[in-house]
Amino acid sequence: MSLAILTLMTLPASAFDLQGHRGARGLAPENTIPGFETALKIGVTTLELDTGMTKDNVLVVSHDSVLNPEHTRGPDGAFLNKQGPAIRSLTFDELQAYDVGRIQPGTAYAARFPMQKGADNVRIPKLTEVFDLVKRHGADHIRFNIETKLTPTSGTDTPDPETFASALVKAIQDAGLTKRASIQSFDWRTLMIARRIAPEIERVCLTIQSPGEDNIRRNLPGASPWTAGFDIDEHGGSVPRLVKAADCAVWSPYYRNLTAALVKEAHDLGLKVIPWTVNEMADLELMYQTGIDGIISDYPDRARAALPKGIAAPTPVKVR
């Protein structure tokens, strides 16, 4: 048995962070109240979710800054035939005209998630509705891992970093969740703002280093536009060292970029490591062997089933 497995097995049950990605995207509509209810019923430690902001400055839960035709139906009940308007261009009441409870058949999304159970009359929720859902069920052990969805080039389709981070920090503080929430982003500008105005809220540096998707930009002139001025080449080419320099408590890499050696390096720097988004049983088992501190999955039921012996699964919530 490897040292990594032994280390993982000695963790107390509450220490391992099993996160339902966008609720439980593989099983229920993503980033919706039914999706979060599904994750709670399965039993997770943390609800992972994405945020945007409407024209009237309401924080809402959505991965896409513009309405996605793969799972969005318009006021006429038909799936959008092209990319919809930006959430930032709509008031919250206007946004409620759209239904996000089903996947459009024949799309790439449908092929990826054939087990997702759709529903009708499902709306993009306010962030506060997700907080209220957990509170209503007395699930005070549940945490929230909240992503700011913006990019260095998203422009007016998303709020500016200062507006976005400030609104999210206020929402977390108003809900009394500073100890149960983390703010994550690929665009680290919002993380730096959150550090300045609310250092007590945990911050998570998201990374990916793949062809066509790379927010780190190793061996290129200057800092990546995603990393708030931190240049990996000034930190020996090490992503854990870059994350440590950015003062994140958690490094959340794309799981295919992660190795046991990188986990050890991150741990030696005092970082927690929670990879995303791990869905297949073989990959889940492989990730557990690296000694990670948590995992993000579209299938929290699979993530629970793959947990090594000695790590208790999170307690399911009785959703009424």
pLDDT at 143: 98
Nearest Cα neighbor of 185 from 40, 26, 49, 44 is: 49
Question: Which domains are present in the chain?
Answer: 3-305 (3.20.20.190)
The whole-model pTM stands at 0.95
pLDDT at 320: 81
pLDDT in tens, the chain (320 residues): 344 444 444 444 458 999 999 999 999 999 999 999 999 999 999 999 999 999 999 999 999 999 999 999 999 999 999 999 999 999 999 999 999 999 999 999 999 999 999 999 999 999 999 999 999 999 999 999 999 999 999 999 999 999 999 999 999 999 999 999 999 999 999 999 999 999 999 999 999 999 999 999 999 999 999 999 999 999 999 999 999 999 999 999 999 999 999 999 999 999 999 999 999 999 999 999 999 999 999 999 999 999 999 899 999 999 98
pLDDT at 278: 98
Residue corresponding to tokens 């950015």: 246
pLDDT at 2: 47
pLDDT at 15: 83
| Identity of the residue numbered 253 | P
Q: Are strands 46-53 and 59-61 parallel, antiparallel or unpaired?
A: antiparallel
DSSP helix/strand/coil, 144: strand
Q: How far is CA 94 from CA 12, 119, 145, 291, in A?
A: 46, 20, 27, 46
pLDDT at 13: 45
The whole-angstrom separation of Cα 313 and Cα 304 is 6
Backbone angles phi, psi at 232, to 5 degrees: -60, -30
DSSP per-residue letters across 23-65: TTTTTS-TTSHHHHHHHHHH--SEEEEEEEE-TT--EEE-S-S
